[in-house]
Structure 1
Amino acid sequence: MALRFTFRQLEYFVAVGDAGSIALASQRINVSSPSISSAISQLETEFGLQLFVRHHAQGLSLTPGGRQFFKAAKTILDNAAALSDITSEVSGEARGPLTFGALSTLAPLVTASVRRSFQAAFPFADVSVREGNQSDLIQMIRRAEINVALTYDLEIPNDVHFEPLATLPPIAILPADHPLAQREGLSLHDLREEAYILLDLPISRDYFLSLFQREGLKPKIVERTTQMTVSQSLVANGFGFALTNMHRLSDRAPDGGKLAYVPLVGDLRPMKFGLATNQADHVSRVLSAFCEHVAQRVKAGSLPGLGVD
């Protein structure tokens, strides 16, 4: 008997059912809205069943029949994933789909490199990548949209397992011609009168502000940005200093301005880089291989931004 659907159609349908809108599902799975709409229409036509109720400007909701179809579709997709695991176990090779996420500040540095080296080592793995802030990544893990996240140990909930791989102390970023730029180390007290450019991302901002609070200081915030590249350019052009935990890759900002990276001294909490996964998830062979691969690259110092200057 010929199948009346494709797994891709089911994946798109489940993504919309989880998201509550085609637009949000499109963002989450990185597939165009027309492609998702077409897949759902094909399913509804093929099965003669209305799966969603369309609400003007308020997204979609599953019909009673759609809810039953949704549960069945998730079961089919879960079983298909289990088949990939069985194939991996029998063949002894890591194969099948794997989606990993990365913190938006880390993504430009590590995702392409990790994906390329992992796929070179495990050619039967089908790898895709997502990015987001810390809150986004936690939700992606809980919704099983990603298998693992490359991130920091910031507010990790009890239902998420975090495996630390590297300790990253905070570093000050200054204009290269700043009077303090030639120092071997700086305290936050040295910077207390300097204008501060805050990396304003959920959870991350709380970490950076807590460093000042622990020292009894209130930073002079003059700019806020969610983009590390914007922060670097602002610093290079003399608008203030910034903080990071990533090691220097270049002494140039994106606009070409010169930067200086100076370690902070004192009893300041470092960030820990590592791997976050769902506590309850079965660890497939491909996921286990990916985690081991990343751990080996960190240990070898071959992941950009995580090595020692």
Structure 2
Amino acid sequence: MLYITLRHYEYVCAVAQHGSLSAAAEAVHVSQPALSAALSRIEDRLGHALFLRRRGAALALTPQGRYFAAQAQKLLDRAKRLEGPEGAGSGQQRLMLVCFSDLAPFLLAPALKALRKALPGVEIRHRACGFEPLITALTEGEADLAITYDLGLDAGFSRVELDRFSPHALVPPEHPLAERSHLSLAEVTLHPLVLSQEGLSVQHMLGLFKAQGLVPQIAHRADSLELLRSLTANGEGVGISYSLPPGGRSYDGKPLCAVRIIDQAAEEPVILATHTQLPDASPAFKAREILRTVLNAGRSDLAQADHHID
């Protein structure tokens, strides 16, 4: 369910003021498609249209929209006063960081530690989630910054690349591939595979095979990284994983071997994603620069871990 936030009220007021999506999107620092999608969701939540959309004409407020925009502006003005020098939230700024769930165990804690040290006056919130909710949080303005793989994001977001990871084939020690130093995607398709169930992950992997004219044999689609590793360790197929948790064993104690897949096209970047335009004084701009430095400094640690697109 969508809960209307102050950011959503800001979107409505910006469109009401500027009369066009492009001008309003520039004013609130989001992409035009993101703003349009957010407005549609707000109207769905309210159960009525706020704007009349006519081809070739500026957006016009409906009577309900005019009332809503006026009340929303009052709410924004009140919130601004609360956060002013004499308000209850004097000086308090906020930052929402989202992190892709499989990257979170490696990157989220160091990121939070660095941000809280460098930005003591900012209230920092965080969430670890899958691709779809992460993209939705960025698109609807609920999140300021995301640590993720570069999958599913449109051109309306800026990207800072932190590193690039290669996938690995996971097999039990007795498997014939276990002694190999590296593999190709073509060699992997000769065996039944265990892939992630997550939508964008499946699309990504199947796209890699399709680009080479390969048809993989999918034995299982796992709901989690550890289920994928357990199925693999118990001989249910060759797992494909970008993540290698330390220890070399699945949760049920079975040993696993990881063999790097060397196809260059299979490399995947880990990025910091933000809206394209960030004011220099905003917490999100400062956070992006902090994390660019801190997480790039840890590239060697990340490369040793490699991360699973789940």
Confirm or deny: 8 A CA contact 1:17 1:61 kept in the other structure: no
Confirm or deny: 8 A CA contact 2:111 2:295 kept in the other structure: no
Q: Which residue number in structure 2 is paired with residue 131 of structure 1?
A: 128
Q: What is the CA deviation profile of residues 122-152 of structure 1, one whole-angstrom value per residue up to 9, with x for unaligned ones?
A: 3333211123333322221121111011011
Q: What is the CA deviation profile of residues 87-112 of structure 1, one whole-angstrom value per residue up to 9, with x for unaligned ones?
A: 98xxxxxx731111111222233222
Q: Which residue number in structure 1 is paired with residue 140 of structure 2?
A: 143
Matched AA of 1:181: A
Question: 1:262 aligned to 2:259?
Answer: yes
Q: Distance in 1 between matches of 2:277 and 2:226?
A: 36
Q: Which residue number in structure 1 is paired with residue 99 of structure 2?
A: 102
Q: Which residue number in structure 2 is paired with residue 69 of structure 1?
A: 71
Matched AA of 1:146: A
Q: Which residue number in structure 1 is paired with residue 160 of structure 2?
A: 163
Q: Which residue number in structure 1 is paired with residue 58 of structure 2?
A: none
Q: What is the CA deviation profile of residues 45-101 of structure 1, one whole-angstrom value per residue up to 9, with x for unaligned ones?
A: xxxxxxxxxxxxx97658946664345434555787798xxx98xxxxxx7311111
Q: Distance in 2 between matches of 1:161 and 1:82?
A: 30
CA distance change for structure 1 residues 283 and 101 in 2, over 3 Å: closer, same or farther? farther
Matched AA of 1:136: P
CA distance change for structure 1 residues 266 and 213 in 2, over 3 Å: closer, same or farther? same
Q: Which residue number in structure 1 is paired with residue 268 of structure 2?
A: 271
- Percentage of matched positions with identical amino acids: 24
CA distance change for structure 1 residues 73 and 142 in 2, over 3 Å: closer, same or farther? farther
Matched AA of 1:220: Q
Structure 1: state its 5+ residue gaps: 1-11, 19-57, 89-94
Q: Distance in 1 between matches of 2:45 and 2:284?
A: 33
Q: Distance in 2 between matches of 1:139 and 1:81?
A: 27
Q: Distance in 1 between matches of 2:82 and 2:140?
A: 17
Confirm or deny: 8 A CA contact 1:246 1:305 kept in the other structure: no
1:268 counterpart SS class: helix
CA distance change for structure 1 residues 208 and 118 in 2, over 3 Å: closer, same or farther? same
Confirm or deny: 8 A CA contact 1:197 1:224 kept in the other structure: yes
Q: Where do 1:12-51 residues align within 5 Å?
A: 14=5
Displacement after TM superposition at 1:157 (Å)? 0.7
Q: Where do 1:1-309 residues align within 5 Å?
A: 14=5, 61=47, 64=64, 68-74=70-76, 76-77=78-79, 96-301=93-298, 305-307=302-304
Matched AA of 2:5: V
TM-score by length of 2: 0.68
CA distance change for structure 1 residues 162 and 222 in 2, over 3 Å: closer, same or farther? same
Matched AA of 2:207: S
Q: Distance in 2 between matches of 1:126 and 1:197?
A: 41
Q: Distance in 2 between matches of 1:237 and 1:17?
A: 48
Q: Distance in 1 between matches of 2:149 and 2:254?
A: 28
CA distance change for structure 1 residues 169 and 78 in 2, over 3 Å: closer, same or farther? farther
1:209 counterpart SS class: helix
Displacement after TM superposition at 1:305 (Å)? 4.0
Q: What is the CA deviation profile of residues 159-185 of structure 1, one whole-angstrom value per residue up to 9, with x for unaligned ones?
A: 111121211122222223322112110
Displacement after TM superposition at 1:295 (Å)? 2.0
Superposition RMSD in Å = 3.4
The count of aligned residue pairs is: 251
TM-score by length of 1: 0.69
Matched AA of 2:97: F
2:251 counterpart SS class: coil
Matched AA of 2:71: F
Displacement after TM superposition at 1:306 (Å)? 3.9
Q: Which residue number in structure 2 is paired with residue 26 of structure 1?
A: none
Q: Distance in 2 between matches of 1:79 and 1:278?
A: 26
1:111 counterpart SS class: helix
1:262 counterpart SS class: strand
Q: Distance in 1 between matches of 2:6 and 2:232?
A: 40
Q: Which has the higher contact order (CA 8 A, sep 6+)?
A: 2
Displacement after TM superposition at 1:154 (Å)? 1.8
